[in-house]
């Protein structure tokens, strides 16, 4: 296997939903893609097969992003395809529950922060080591996936999750300033309500539909619409954009 025309893109949490849509678009844009997953091996294999069926290059790779050693191994696997030039931090969890913050078990809080905050930090750290011109890297782009849940804080549903995504927004801005001189752009896409399995996994499969009346455009996003925003931030057209948090939320 050899890298695509644009190098290698690592997409975390890419076995389904927004991550899968990003992986497919990245492959179509000319990247070889490392499809990261934590537990859904079948989903990751399906995404990889879709990419290959369309003439692209992809590998699945299981790694828990909250484990720094596993993150390093993930980048090593991606490097077998060629130079890594794009990293998309999509992996994120809610803890699979909905309710008031006071009722969220401590272990759930810790796990959500481990994946959604520490995991993003660990992946960004390794990306800077590999991509930065100061260490002989090719430069490139990091896109973090946040959420517009940070605006109101998701009271009564996912306040712990919203807090974790607020950290991602702040990290994006700070890191973008640190590494701009190393040829790395760091941006963030903040989806609003999106039609993925995230809500069903937390026990509320109709959540997006119930929120539709609060969205100016009257509907939730499709994963591919979020992926399109990610691809723009990776593109040369966004070459002077760094430190941005781009909402993809239908106006909500």
Domains present along the chain, CATH in parentheses: 8-248 (3.40.50.720)
pLDDT digits (tens, 9 = 90+) for 179-203: 999 999 999 999 988 887 665 666 6
pLDDT band, residue 245 (cuts 50/70/90): very high
- Report residue 96's pLDDT band, with 50, 70 and 90 as the boundaries: confident
| Position 1 pLDDT exceeds 60 | no
**Residue 7 confidence class, pLDDT cut points 50, 70, 90:** very high
pLDDT of 3 over the 70 cut: no
Q: What is the pLDDT of residue 2?
A: 47
209 Cβ contact list (under 8 Å, min separation 6): 220
The 8-class DSSP code of residue 155 comes to: T
Q: Output the pLDDT for position 197.
A: 67
Predicted confidence at residue 40, as pLDDT, reads 96
Q: Which strands make up the sheet holding 184-191, listed edge to edge? A: 58-62, 32-37, 8-11, 84-89, 140-145, 184-191, 245-248
Cα of first residue to Cα of last residue in the chain, in angstroms, is 43
Between 200 and 236, the higher pLDDT residue: 236
* Catalytic site includes residue 161: yes
Average pLDDT over residues 75-101: 95
31, 37, 161, 240: the catalytic one is 161
């Amino acid at each position: 296997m050899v890298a695509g025309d644009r190098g290698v893109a690592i997409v975390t949490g890419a076995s389904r939903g927004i991550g899968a849509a990003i992986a497919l678009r990245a492959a179509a844009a000319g990247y070889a893609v490392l499809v990261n997953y934590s537990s859904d091996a079948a989903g990751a294999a399906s995404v990889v097969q879709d990419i290959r069926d369309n003439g692209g290059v992809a590998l699945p790779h299981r790694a828990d992003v909250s484990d720094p050693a596993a993150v390093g191994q993930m980048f090593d696997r991606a490097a077998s395809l060629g130079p890594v030039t794009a990293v998309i931090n999509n992996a994120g969890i809610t803890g699979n529950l909905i309710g008031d913050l006071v009722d969220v078990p401590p272990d759930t809080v810790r796990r959500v922060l481990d994946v959604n905050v520490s995991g993003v930090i660990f992946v960004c750290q390794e990306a800077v080591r590999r991509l930065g011109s100061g260490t002989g890297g090719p430069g490139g782009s990091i896109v973090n996936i946040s959420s517009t849940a940070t605006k109101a804080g998701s009271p009564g549903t996912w306040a712990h999750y919203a807090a974790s995504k607020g950290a991602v927004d702040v990290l994006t801005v700070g890191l973008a300033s640190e590494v701009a001189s190393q040829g790395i752009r760091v941006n963030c896409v903040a989806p609003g309500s999106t039609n993925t399995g995230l809500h069903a996994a937390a026990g509320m499969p109709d959540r997006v539909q119930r929120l539709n009346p609060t969205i100016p455009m009257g509907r939730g996003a499709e994963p591919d619409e979020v992926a399109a925003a990610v691809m723009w931030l990776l593109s040369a057209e966004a070459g002077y954009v760094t430190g941005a948090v781009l909402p993809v939320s239908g106006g909500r």
